[in-house]
């Protein structure tokens, strides 16, 4: 079966986000004073093949842990859906 996974990674709340702060200041300088905080992350959209939903989830966890996120400073979450055949 084919699955589509939407994976989001972001810095842990305890980790400073200088890129987010810089972007927030840039927004303020452009007049967007309503923006109060900003954190920047990454987004992955992946199609994968697996025997079942559980195997697909296991594969995504392994891929995230080995390559797609840095477990020391980042956390991740994902949504996964079966694709129509």
Q: So what's the pLDDT on residue 63?
A: 98
Angle at 14 between CA 12 and CA 44, to 5 degrees: 15
pLDDT in tens, 26-62: 999 999 999 999 999 999 999 999 999 999 999 999 9
The SS3 call for residue 83 is coil
Q: pTM for the complete prediction?
A: 0.88
Q: CATH number for 2-82: choose from 3.30.1280.10, 2.10.60.10, 3.50.50.60, 3.30.465.10.
A: 3.30.1280.10
Q: So what's the pLDDT on residue 37?
A: 95
DSSP characters for 14-77? TS--HHHHHHHHHHHHTT-TT------EEEEEEEEE-SSHHHHHHHHHHHIIIIIS-TTTEEEE
Residues of the chain with pLDDT > 90: what percent? Answer: 98
What strand order describes the sheet that includes 74-82? Answer: 41-49, 2-11, 74-82
pLDDT at residue 85 is higher than 80: no
In the chain, where the domains are located: 2-82
């Amino acid at each position: 079966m084919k699955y589509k996974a939407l994976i989001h990674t972001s810095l842990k709340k305890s980790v400073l986000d200088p890129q987010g702060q810089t972007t927030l200041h840039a927004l303020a300088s452009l007049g967007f004073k309503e923006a109060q905080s900003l954190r920047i992350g990454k987004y992955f959209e992946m199609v994968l093949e697996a025997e079942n939903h559980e195997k697909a989830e296991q594969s995504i966890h392994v891929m995230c842990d080995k390559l797609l996120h840095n477990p020391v400073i980042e956390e991740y979450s994902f949504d996964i859906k079966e694709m129509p055949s």
